Structure formats: C-alpha cells, structure tokens
Amino acid sequence: MALWQGRFKKELNEQVNDFNSSLPFDNKLFKEDIIGSIAHATMLGDTEIIPKEESDIIVVELTKMLDEEFVFEGAEDIHTFVEQELTKRLGDLGKKLHTARSRNDQIATDLRLYLRNEINEISELLVHLIKVLEEKGTDDIMPGYTHLQRAQPITFAMHLGAYIAMFKRDLSRLADCKKRMNECPLGSGALAGTKHPIDRIQTATLLGFDKPCDNTLDGVSDRDFCVELASAISLIMVHLSRFSEEIIFWCSSEFKFVELDDAFATGSSIMPQKKNPDIAELVRGKSGRAFGNLQTLLVMLKGLPLAYNKDMQEDKEAIFDSIDTAKMCLLSFTPMIETMKILPQNMLNASKHGFLNATDVADYLAEKGMPFRDAYKIVGEIVGYCIDNNKTLEDLTIEEYKGFSNIFDTDIYEEISLENCVKVRNK
C-alpha cells in the first residue's frame, strides 16, 4: 500500500508503479532508514509528541529489524517497506512513527548517513594504497618523462610519490565532503518543517551529525553532497586511470620496468605467450562510469526548482555506482601494485639513453658563470654531435667537451652521472 493513498481513487498503473518504485536500489539504505527512524522515534517520545512508552516499543521493534533478513519487495521505496513492516508487527502504533516526518527529510537523512559511512570505507582503502606505495618505492633510477619522451632521471620512489601526493589530496577532498555532508535534514518535513515541538538538535546528535540543516527547503532539496562526492570519486578514478596507463606501459616489452604477478594478469585465448594487464585496463576503463555518474547528477539537478522533485530519485543509482566502482577498483588495484615485481636494471638501462642528463650539463656551465641560455645552446649542439657520432654524454672525451667550451673540466663526468643527477635535485 502506498503511503500517499487517500487522495487517489484509482490504483497506480502497474507499469507506472514499477517505473516509480525506487526499492530495487534504495534498499541499500535499509539500515540507515532504521537507524534514522530509531532516532526519530526516540525524539518523539522524549518530546512527548507521542507517549514515551509507545516510542520505546517502536524503538525496540526497529532495533530487532536491524538484525533480520528481508526480501525487499511489495513497496514503493525503502521508507514504505520499513513502515509497512513495522505496522504489521505493531498495528496502529507502527503508523505513529511517521509523525512530524516526511519521506523528503527521511531520504535526505538516510542518504547522508549511508554516504558518510562509504566515505570512511573509501578513505581506508586509499590509506592502504598509500601505505603500499610508500613501501614499494625504491631508490632505483628510472627515466622521468614529459610528452612521453625521456626527460630527466628520477627514482622509482619519486615517481610513486607523485601518486601518493594525488591520493592524499583525494583523502583531503573526501574529508571536506564529509564535513559539509554532516548536517541533519530530519525535521525539515516535506519542505517547511513541522508544527510539532520536535527537537532537531537531539536527532542530529543521536545520528552523529554536527548540527541540523540551517534551512528546511535546502535540507530536503540539497544534493550538493552527492555531486561533491561523485566529483571526489571521479578524481580518484582519474588518478587510478593515469597510474593504470603507466602500469600498462611499464609491463610491456617495450618498457619492461615491472612485471605483474600472475594472479593479477590474464592470458590470450589464441596467443599462448601473452600476459595481459587486464586489471589496469579495467580500472582505466571503469573510470568512465564515474565521470558519467557525475554528469548524470549535475544534469539532473541543474533545472530543479525548490524543493523536492521526483527527478532526485535518480541521485541514488548514480552515486551508488560511483562508490561501488571506486571500491571495486581500489580492492583490485592495490594488491596488483603490492605484488608486482620491479625490474631496476631495465629502468637504469633506459635512463642511460635519451640524454636525460643534458640539463645537468647546462646547469654545470651556468654554475661556472655562463648565461644559462648560452649554456642551453651549447648543450644542444653537444647532443647533436653525440647523435651524429652515436655517443652518449658520458662517452665524450674531455677534449671533445672543450671543443664546445673551455669551461669544461674533468669534473663534468661526476656532475652528469645518473646517481649524482638524482641525488642533487631539489625534490
């Protein structure tokens, strides 16, 4: 039975009823709906809006329901399901639970409770990934790239450190999102509050919110917190996708900087030699889901007048999918990184080609008094000479160096060693 029956003379069209129902996906909020209802019922009794002994009975029954298994069917949404189940057990007493409450402030509260917990879980997964990256980082020398061209020598730890910095920003964004999310909509009613003498501070406190929402219209119609979380997750997925792209490069024969553990790679149905980085490719591909969900939320909200509109039912599938996608990717990606084998000799060999220490030659001349732009030009000429003669900067004799400038001396060889190039950099 729909909670809104009474005004209507006809049953809802069966196909429309299925279209209208959110129970197939908002059943995720079952526990949050119960927890929110327990806080609401407690407040109703404490404020004597309903007799205290009745609110206590409702709380006891709701608490029992928390530990029971249900088949979610036969209701328009999770709020209707819970109320109908409570009424089956308590009769008319169960119908008193909805006093001074609307499904509008109910769903806004349930969703914040659920997303708050999910932020905690995603944050824990990110913290674990950061720890793995910190432990995986080594001082092995590898090429740093710009434009996918070898640029300057760096350490493997420095490269992983860039992703550590990204994931730490992700943690900060999640914390900020959670802080803004942590306001309680209960008591907003449908949009204009309620005439009952409710205690919004009590319900907010019982549910672990910092305070009630400041404005009741905003309390029921705000979904900024969904957009903000979807945005934060999208950036997490951007970072995972970028990292995945590099893993895919690194484990190819052309790079061979790392080798994935067999448990985190797959083979080919026709080519027996293949070892494919499917986990990294899937993470890279699934990032698109998160971006699409963010777009869904933005477009859904952009034209909505205040306060609640049924369009907002579309928020849940989008944000739930973003959360599930991010968690699934992190749960697969982190152990893939943890178990992959680093091939330091291959990274070092790659660093010895491509004149990664050319900037250090220019810096050497600049430190000895030559204007940097002049030094840059001379080193460009030296690199051209090396290419023409199939040499590296380390191969040149001091006489060849002096042919370009008398400033060069034998200390140039120490300056351009890859180990020194890495060691003297400001990081």
* Full pLDDT tens readout for the chain, 427 residues: 565 455 555 566 666 666 778 999 999 999 999 999 999 999 999 999 999 999 999 999 999 999 999 999 999 999 999 999 999 999 999 999 999 999 999 999 999 999 999 999 999 999 999 999 999 999 999 999 999 999 999 999 999 999 999 999 999 999 999 999 999 999 999 999 999 999 999 999 999 999 999 999 999 999 999 999 999 999 999 999 999 999 999 999 999 999 999 999 888 778 878 889 999 999 999 999 999 999 999 999 999 999 999 999 999 999 999 999 999 999 999 999 999 999 999 999 999 999 999 999 999 999 999 999 999 999 999 999 999 999 999 999 999 999 999 999 999 999 999 999 998 876 5
Q: Print burial letters for 214-253: b (CB count within 10 Å at least 16), e (below 16).
A: eebbbbbbbbebbbbbbbbbbbbbebbbebbebbbbbbee
Asked about 40 being catalytic, the answer comes back as no
C-alpha 189/C-alpha 101 separation (Å) is 5
Can you give the residue ranges of every domain in the chain? 14-99, 104-349, 355-423
Predicted local distance difference test score (pLDDT) of residue 267: 83
Catalytic residue among 172, 252, 268, 353: 268
Phi first, then psi: what are they for 258, rounded to 5°? -140, 160
CA 364 to CA 367: how far, in whole Å?
5
Q: Looking at residue 8, what is its pLDDT?
A: 53
Q: Identify the CA nearest to 348 among candidates 194, 153, 74, 137.
A: 153
**The predicted structure's pLDDT at residue 426:** 60
Determine the Cα–Cα distance for residues 383 and 394; give it in Å rounded to an integer. 11
What is the reported pLDDT for 358?
Answer: 94
* Architecture of the domain defined by 355-423: Orthogonal Bundle (1.10)
| Cβ–Cβ < 8 Å for 319, 230 | yes
∠ CA 225-62-317, rounded to 5°: 30
Angle, helix 224-250 to helix 156-181, in steps of 10 degrees: 170
Any idea which fold 104-349 has? Fumarase C; Chain A, domain 2 (1.20.200)
Q: How far apart, in whole angstroms, are the C-alpha atoms of residue 240 and residue 245?
A: 9
Distance CA 273, CA 289 (A): 32
Q: Which fold has domain 14-99?
A: Fumarase C; Chain B, domain 1 (1.10.275)
Given this model, what pLDDT does residue 6 score?
58
Residue 375: helix, strand or coil by DSSP?
helix
Give me the pLDDT at residue 119, please: 98
268 in catalytic set: yes
The active-site residue out of 40, 55, 123, 147 is: 147
